[in-house]
Amino acid sequence: MIEPSLALYGEAYDRVDQHIQELLDVTGVRYGLLVDRKGFVLSHKEALWAPRPPALDSVATLVASNAAATAALANMLGETTFSEQIHQGENGTLYVESVGSEALLTLIFDASVPLGKVKVYAKKTVAQVASILDELKDLPPVNLGDDFSQGATSLLDDLLG
C-alpha cells in the first residue's frame, strides 16, 4: 500500500532537490531550503564551498513564523499575502519567496551575490517547484498502519520513560 506512492514522492522530491541545486550553482547562493508553511524543512541544499549552515530547523521555524506574521499583516492592509520577503544585513541576505500556498523557498547568500540575479533565477525555480508540489496534491494519502503506531509508541517509551 505504501510502496508505490513512496517511489513517486521520492522521485518528485528528487526533482525539487535538483532544481534547488541548479539555482545554487547558477547564482552562488550558500543555502537553499524548501520549507513548508508550518516550519518543516522539506528539502535543503548547500553549496559545497559554504561553511556549515546554522541549525536548519530553527531557520525554517523562524522563516515560516515570519511569513505567517507578515501574511497576517498583509491581510490587515488588504492584500492576500506578501509573496516575497528580503532581509538584508551587513554581510548577507535572506530571501524568501512563496511557492504556492503551502511552501516557502528560502535562500541565504552573502553580500557578493547580486540580489537581482538571485531574484531572476529564483522566480524560475519557484515556478518549477510549484508545479511539482501541485502534482503531489493529487496523490492518494498514505496508510501507515497499526504497526507504525506500535513501533512509535515503544520509541516514545524509550525517550520519555
Partner 1 sequence: MSTINFAAREINCKIVYYGPGMSGKTTNLKHVFSKVPGHLRGEMVSLATEDERTLFFDFLPLDLGTVKGFKTRFHLYTVPGQVFYNASRKLILRGVDGIVFVADSSPDRLRANAESMRNLRENLAEHGIDVKDVPIVLQINKRDLPGALPTEMIRAVVDPKKELTIFESTAHNGVGVFETLKTVSRLVLEKLSKS
Q: Which is nearer to partner 1, 9 or 110 (CB)?
A: 9
C-alpha cell at 23: 539555482
Does residue 151 belong to the site contacting partner 1 (CB under 8 A)? Answer: yes
| Residue 59, C-beta contacts closer than 8 angstroms, at least 6 positions apart | 33, 53, 106, 108
The whole-angstrom distance between residue 155's C-alpha and the CA centroid of its chain comes to 28
CA-based max dimension of the chain: 52
Does residue 91 belong to the site contacting partner 1 (CB under 8 A)? Answer: no
Q: Which residue has the cell 539555482?
A: 23
Binding characters for partner 1, 100-139, by CB under 8 A (x = yes): ----------------------------------------
DSSP 55: -
Instruction: State which of positions 38-77 bind partner 1 (CB under 8 A).
Output: 38-40, 42-43, 55, 57-58, 61-62, 65, 68-69, 72
DSSP string spanning 95-145? EEEEETTTEEEEEEEETTS-HHHHHHHHHHHHHHHHHHHHHHHTSPPP---
Q: Which is nearer to partner 1, 114 or 151 (CB)?
A: 151
Q: Which is nearer to partner 1, 35 or 118 (CB)?
A: 35
Does residue 4 belong to the site contacting partner 1 (CB under 8 A)? Answer: no
In the complex, the residues that contact partner 1 under the rule CB under 8 A are 5-6, 9-10, 12-14, 16-17, 36-40, 42-43, 55, 57-58, 61-62, 65, 68-69, 72, 141-142, 144-149, 151-153, 155-161
